[in-house]
Amino acid sequence: MLVANRGEIAVRVIRACRDLGMEAVAVYSVPDRYAPHARLADAAYPLRGAAPHESYLNIDALIDIARQAGAEALHPGYGFLAENPLLADACGAAGIAFVGPPAVVLRLCGDKAVARERIVAAGVPVLPGTSPIADVEAPAAARRVGFPLLIKAVGGGGGKGIHLVRTPEDLPGALRLARGEALTAFGDGRVYLERWVERARHVEIQILADHRAGVIHLGERECSVQRRHQKLIEESPSPALTPALRGRMGEAAVAVARALDYRNAGTVEFLVEGDSFYFLEVNARIQVEHPVTELVAGLDLVQWQFRLAGGEPLPFGQEAVRLSGHALQCRISAEDPHAQFLPSVGRIAAVVEPGGPGIRVDSGVQAGTEVSRHYDPLLCKVIAWGETREAAIARMRRALGETVIAGVQTTIPFHRWAVEEPSFAQGTYDTRLIEDRWERRPAPASPPEAVLLVAAAHAYLRDRTVRIPEYRRAAPRSPWREQDQ
């Protein structure tokens, strides 16, 4: 399996390969030459350059490495090329299985106009919006959609390439920014417009679909804690849904999958306003937040991606799905929450990860990791499970209290605040939690223990360079290859 990605998702896929007895091949850019995913794989191959278009967005280079390594399949992770049909086409031409929806489905999901038509025909409510538009078409299209509105990247995901526009005067500048971000992150500068709902909740449904038209959903994830349209905390199930609304949304997600002839794992995203919901888009890939579903459903979604890509049918139907307990996920990113979540770059000096009952950490960093401006700032994910929502929140409080990442600014202070915030604890929050609560609170001082750890770690690293062996075609794993740090 060639793992065509980096960071925590590459580590996650490599571990899924290991559990199934499959060999994993990693790729790494220049800044990632010492990254954990390159070290954990059975073999690791270099990509030229640092910028995404030189490395993780280079389809020809990825296919060439897959051939060199003898890879039988390729997993794209999330972001980068995960939803790009050109990669799926290239895999098919090279005789390599693509772990994700087929290219025809990726194209359909990416063609917002055709996809919306099919979804409306299936009886699923949608927000007013457009197909991909040119800049000259935007003013007239924006008047039809109505302000405020969102500009969204066609190839988007992870909140990139999305801009809120409140007035016609703001439209040209926002279009330029959105196109530039979309081109850099996804290699596709196309954008479309969509009506913005000021007070809403962002809820998504996880689906699995096989090649025999079998489709199931695995319940919902609440994703309303966001900044700049990027998620910071996810939980399952949503505290906002009644059983009746949950049932209607699950049925709608399955209807969307059938309307698009979907295959493999995916997510159907909705906006919820009171007892009404509206289709937003299909994320035709594994999601960053998939662990919360794994914990409540008891399924390994990455392994199911492998099986579905290999042609296995789903061995059970919707009636067999059993969801248990409650799960929360905090995305720990290299951003300064006290400075409007601006990115923070540098070398990670020390990492202390939490543990204990009900806690899982998906991480792509270690002491010595360089946090680069070229990539998404996500460092790791802390996930907590409990029999009830209250139990899961209590475990998350404990876990966040144990977590320290030194050397760069991180979102840990925000997450510690969020799990104590009354509207979050009561489950009454919406997508404006940060604007309404976080940005209006007094900024707390840094914890003394974190300050001391930062100073000690920096002093240690001044006199010692962290070195991890580079691998091209790696030999079988051996403890003698690992260098003590």
The dihedrals phi and psi of 85, each to the nearest 5 degrees, come to -65, -20
User: What's the burial of 104, exposed, middle or buried (CB within 10 Å: 0-12/13-18/19+)?
Assistant: middle
How far is residue 186 from each of residues 154, 158, 197, 479, measured CA to CA in Å? 9, 11, 26, 38
What are the tokens at 389? 């929502």
The SS3 of residue 481 is: helix
Contacts of 481 (CB under 8 A, 6+ apart): 469, 474, 475
Pairing mode of beta strands 326-333, 276-283: unpaired
What are the tokens at 265? 């794992």
Which helix (H) or strand (E) segment is 380 a member of?
Answer: strand 378-386
Q: Are 146 and 130 a contacting pair, CB within 8 Å?
A: no
Catalytic, out of 39, 201, 285, 398: 285
How far apart are alpha carbons 384 and 399 in whole angstroms?
8
How far apart are alpha carbons 105 and 83 in whole angstroms?
10
DSSP characters for 226-284? EETTEEEEEEES-TT--HHHHHHHHHHHHHHHHHTT--EEEEEEEEEETTEEEEEEEE-
Give the residue among 290, 292, 323 at the shortest CA–CA distance from 305.
Answer: 290
How far apart are alpha carbons 400 and 355 in whole angstroms?
10
How far apart are alpha carbons 108 and 350 in whole angstroms?
44
Is residue 201 among the annotated active site residues?
Answer: no
How far is residue 193 from each of residues 47, 150, 392, measured CA to CA in Å? 35, 6, 37
The three-point CA angle 258-260-265 to 5° equals 75
How far apart are alpha carbons 246 and 203 in whole angstroms?
10
How far apart are alpha carbons 304 and 85 in whole angstroms?
21
How far apart are alpha carbons 447 and 174 in whole angstroms?
38
The SS3 of residue 311 is: coil
The SS3 of residue 350 is: strand
Which helix (H) or strand (E) segment is 332 a member of?
Answer: strand 326-333
Pairing mode of beta strands 2-3, 73-75: parallel
Question: In 187-229, which ranges are E strands?
Answer: 191-195, 201-209, 215-227
| Residues marked as catalytic | 285
